[in-house]
Amino acid sequence: MGAALLLGVAVHAAPVHLVDEKPVEITKDASGVYIVDFGKVAFGNVRLLPPDGARGEVIVHFGEDFVEGRVNRTPEGTVRYNKTTVALRGKAPVVAAPPPDERNTSQVSVIRANPAAILTPPEWGVVLPFRWLEVEGWSGELLPEQIVRQAAFASTWDDDAAMFECSDEMLNRIWEFCRYSIKATTFAGLYVDGDRERIPYEADAYLNQLSHYTTDTDIQMARDTYDHLMINGTWPTEWGPHMIFMAHADWMHTGDADWLAPRYEALKGKLLLKRIGPDGLIVSDKGQINKYDIVDWPPMERDAYVMTPVNTVVNAFHLRSLELMAGLAEAVGRENDALLFRAMWKTTLGTFNEKLLDPKTGLYIDGIGTDHSAMHANFFPLAFGLVPDGARDGIVQWLAGKGMGCSVYGAQYFLDALFENGADAAALELIAAEGDRSWRHMVESGATISWEAWDLKYKPNQDWNHAWGAAPANLLPRHVLGVQPFEPGWNTVRIRPMCGNLSEATGKVPTPRGPVWVTWECAKKFRIGIAVPDGVRARLELPAVEGSTGVFQRKDPVKATKVGDRWILDEPVTGRIALEVR
């Protein structure tokens, strides 16, 4: 793929390639049609390798869904089905690819407000997501070596870069499901929103970036997507600030100010400064209220949120963006900007809490002009660190009892808020809950790539291949293993395990400095073993199990200070170490 130029910065698409995959099962029905199962959905097409002397036409049906032993030819929503006919001429290999879908292969946007689709290399032929095939007209037995799926993945992908296991087998299945979802959706070389449109969206891209960082070693695809979106931005109010989130995530992950510096000035344009009202809060006009202010997507996932000119969620994003931009300004030596953004954040935060936090209920209202409190008006401020100390416990308790009342997009922030504020047991229960609003539902429904929504009934046009639905790929490593960068570039890593109701967990988290390994057991004592790369320091914040008096390395006490429900080691550790809280 070629390079473009963004504000003097070369933009390169991440490398992608086709991988040959064999079927896991081939069966033949009574009518002579072969049913081919590749085990998981992937974006691709198939290569047929017929025997010598083969002649005639073969019809190939591609499907994401499988109903009553056959490929579903009339799936709901944007679930994929297609077919093609190919001619066999002896043993010459033949690529069977579906016809193009104008919506995701046209360079003229089908939706006027959106950029054009991201194209895959023309030499591949058309690709689509599928797991199952039906093959009609094949003469003789169809052998596994005669049919190959050409599956598209990032060529840099490393299947061994990450791992996660814990004492809850369903969570293990969910993590692997989400990890593979991130791999499978690298097919375009940029983070796209699924097969329906195949374009990057800012919020989708940020959630994808978080999970890509915890499942693979690549950093380039996130950067390529960022640069694409700075030229081809989309319309929602909160999506622009997500560009600041993406740049900050890159800074924390890589510590690379050289990449950030030439992008800094354009990034400032993603702040919502033109919409600031007299009191410092962001104001929405009628058009912005009716179309651009998102809160959550699809709209039915907003927990009856009341849209007003001063919107709590929009202002929470504004505040978080100011805080992150202050850090980015400092990183590139723009000290005056850093001081300005921090001052704006501090002043606006005071107004935000004064006008939007209801002292009677202890909850945030949806906006000025309503007394309704949707969960979104509360978990976004909580996730962004905006809630005053005295209100935090009440909001956490209220949210933990609400259930999964938001979309798969909102769930990233909702669960982050619970994990970061001591409600890890509730967060883990929600990830694997019974019912149709959890990742258990996707897994038990037979999905192999995460969906755009919890179920078709919540978003009838949803994709079944949407990376923004794969949040546990980052939530479980970042919170259950507790591995996050403490400072830019992973020079110091924070390890703060969240046990919930789990008895043990182990895993490997990739970083640009090398993998971080964590293994822990939690019962009457808490035991942990860690291994960090050379030159990396680990700041440990360990659960203070009931009755514990300190942290020990074998028989020797380790200097640590109890803060709340944590023992925090007084000094960072390096290399490999095993510790016990007792």
Q: Answer yes or no: do 420 and 535 share one domain.
A: no
CA distance 444 to 467: 18
CA distance 48 to 138: 10
Mean pLDDT computed over 296-325: 98
Q: Answer yes or no: do 122 and 248 share one domain.
A: no
Percent of the chain with pLDDT over 70: 96
Q: Are 439 and 472 in contact (CB under 8 A)?
A: yes
Query: Is 164 among the domain residues?
Result: no
Interval 366-412: pLDDT, tens: 999 999 999 999 999 999 999 999 999 999 999 999 999 999 999 99
CA distance 221 to 14: 5
Residue 558 in 3-state DSSP?
strand
| pLDDT attached to residue 3 | 43
Q: Is the dihedral of CA 250, 254, 259, 265 positive or negative?
A: positive
Q: Answer yes or no: do 296 and 207 share one domain.
A: yes
Tokens of 391: 């209100």
| pLDDT attached to residue 113 | 57
Q: Answer yes or no: do 296 and 331 share one domain.
A: yes
CA distance 79 to 451: 10
pLDDT at 14 exceeding the cut of 70: no
Interval 245-292: pLDDT, tens: 999 999 999 999 999 999 999 999 999 999 999 999 999 999 999 999
Mean pLDDT computed over 535-540: 98
pTM given for the model: 0.96
Domain at 144, CATH number: 2.60.120.260
Q: Are 474 and 175 in contact (CB under 8 A)?
A: no
Q: Are 415 and 427 in contact (CB under 8 A)?
A: yes
CA distance 237 to 240: 6
Q: Name which of 548, 283, 556 is nearest 567 in CA terms.
A: 548
- Domain coverage including residue 454: 184-478
Q: Name the maximum alpha-carbon separation found in the chain.
A: 82
Query: Is 170 among the domain residues?
Result: no
Residue in this structure with the two tokens 């593979």, named with its chain if needed: 180
Q: Answer yes or no: do 503 and 463 share one domain.
A: no
Q: Are 58 and 96 in contact (CB under 8 A)?
A: yes
Interval 432-443: pLDDT, tens: 999 999 999 999
Interval 50-75: pLDDT, tens: 999 999 999 999 999 999 999 999 99
CA distance 340 to 134: 62
Per-chain mean pLDDT for the chain: 95
Q: Answer yes or no: do 189 and 297 share one domain.
A: yes
Task: Please identify, among 450, 478, 506, the residue that sits at the C-terminal boundary of a domain.
Answer: 478
Interval 215-253: pLDDT, tens: 999 999 999 999 999 999 999 999 999 999 999 999 999
Query: Is 169 among the domain residues?
Result: no
| pLDDT attached to residue 1 | 42
Domain at 560, CATH number: 2.60.420.10
Task: Count CB atoms within 10 A of the CB of residue 394.
Answer: 14
Q: Answer yes or no: do 436 and 572 share one domain.
A: no
Query: Is 48 among the domain residues?
Result: yes
Domain at 436, CATH number: 1.50.10.10
Query: Is 168 among the domain residues?
Result: no
Task: Among 108-117, 254-263, 309-318, 408-417, name the one with the lowest average pLDDT.
Answer: 108-117
Sorting pLDDT into bands at 50, 70 and 90, what band is 108? low
| pLDDT attached to residue 110 | 47
| pLDDT attached to residue 213 | 98
Mean pLDDT computed over 206-212: 98
Task: Count CB atoms within 10 A of the CB of residue 74.
Answer: 8
CA distance 93 to 146: 9
* Cβ density class 361-391: b for 16+ within 10 Å, e for less: ebbbbbbbeeeebbbbbbbbbbbbebbeeeb
Q: Answer yes or no: do 571 and 451 share one domain.
A: no
Q: Answer yes or no: do 281 and 147 share one domain.
A: no
| pLDDT attached to residue 8 | 39
Q: Answer yes or no: do 250 and 188 share one domain.
A: yes
CA distances from 204 to 235, 359, 486, 576 (A): 13, 34, 24, 36
CA distances from 35 to 142, 183, 348, 385 (A): 10, 25, 61, 52
| pLDDT attached to residue 557 | 97
Question: Can the peptide bond before residue 23 be classed as cis, meaning omega within 30 degrees of 0?
Answer: no
Sorting pLDDT into bands at 50, 70 and 90, what band is 11? very low
**Number of folded domains that form the chain:** 3
Query: Is 22 among the domain residues?
Result: yes
